[in-house]
Amino acid sequence: MLRVPLICTSQGIDTSNDNPCAKFQLDVLAAVAEFECSIIKERVNSGLAAAKARGIRLGRPATLQKRAGEIMALKKHGLGVRAISRELGMAVSSVHSVLAGKKTKRTRLASRLKRTNLTT
């Protein structure tokens, strides 16, 4: 284990020796850092919960189905999957998904909600 001492002469902190006071100072600093980290996590999680309660959509917006028309048009013009992906700046797997008619997770969830009449 690498032991690097922390010496702050203006603060009275010296961890260069193996004394109980130095260990206590480091433990207090570590506890304060851990406390601050947990406070930040709590604030972030409460902010996310409040945003969800207000109905704000979180995460990256889905763009795959928005570009399905462009992909199908390029395919009708005879372009291959790789050419379409290069043309539109998309991943080859995304182009394959659209051409295969696969639905994204969000569209599957929306169709499931419509079937069970849970939409508002």
pLDDT tens figures, 28-43: 989 999 999 999 999 9
pLDDT tens figures, 58-85: 887 777 778 888 898 999 999 999 999 9
Q: Return the higher-pLDDT residue of 3 and 38.
A: 38
Q: What is the pLDDT of residue 109?
A: 60
For range 91-112, the mean pLDDT: 74
Decide: pTM greater than 0.75.
no
Question: What is the domain partition of the chain in residue ranges?
Answer: 7-53, 65-115
Amino acid at 58: L
CB-CB contact of 14 with 22 (8 Å): yes
The pLDDT > 90 percentage for the chain reads 33
Whole-number Cα distances in Å, 103 to 5, 20, 56, 72, 114: 57, 62, 23, 15, 15
H helix count then E strand count, the chain: 5, 2
